[in-house]
Chains A and B, each alone.
Chain A
């Protein structure tokens, strides 16, 4: 299977900036998602990257380097409500097949 690696837990202070990293295998790569999941709730979409570079959406930005098999999610001006798990998911496809592999998620705790 494809391995997706991201840190298990992170803690950051309200108002600060935090970067959550994700590394993956590059063979058959066809895009990378970041999802947010609050405890007891369904995941919600944050971003999708398929080309190298930085995508910015308000307080959240996502970066991708295809050659390095690396992505990060950057959260600015952290708020208490940002405490959640952040899931990195990679699309692998080709020859009519489709595979979406999720990492184990990074549990972010925002403290006052």
Chain B
């Protein structure tokens, strides 16, 4: 496997279900990110992890819970979601993050998980 992988690629869940999205990067990067992409809306940064510590949480509802057990893996745990949470969830990684990082800002994105909440 190379680059950034995400599983599952598609997920349909009910509002009472609990599920998890998984992301794995094979690039030796220190930082990982979760994004939400909804139709006709800008890409929204949800969480940032640098060296397995959460750097930023952009006011995301608590029904989304991230976990970063090591620098290669990132999870997004989902519970009691709403239909408006249906979107494409993208994971990305980069060498580092500002303000500590230098020019290693380029982010490499995974293919995404298409989530539908019924």
Contacts and interface: CB of A to CB of B under 8 A. Distances in A.
Interface of A: 4, 30-31, 33, 41-45, 48, 87, 89, 91, 93-94, 96-105
B92 to A, nearest CB: 8
Interface of B: 40-45, 48, 55-56, 58, 90, 97-99, 103, 105-112
A42 B110 contact: yes
Helix, strand, loop or mixed for chain B's interface? loop
A44 B41 CA distance: 18
Contacts of A94: 99
A102 B48 contact: no
Given A41-B111, A91-B98, A93-B99, A33 B42 contact: no
A28 to B, nearest CB: 10
A31 B105 contact: yes
20 contacts: A4-B42, A30-B98, A31-B105, A33-B105, A33-B106, A42-B111, A42-B112, A43-B43, A45-B107, A87-B43, A91-B105, A97-B56, A98-B55, A98-B56, A98-B98, A99-B56, A102-B45, A104-B40, A104-B42, A105-B42
B41 A104 contact: yes
Given A33-B107, A41-B111, 19 more contacts: A30-B99, A31-B105, A33-B105, A43-B43, A45-B106, A45-B108, A48-B105, A48-B106, A91-B98, A93-B98, A98-B48, A98-B98, A99-B45, A100-B45, A100-B48, A101-B42, A102-B42, A102-B43, A103-B42
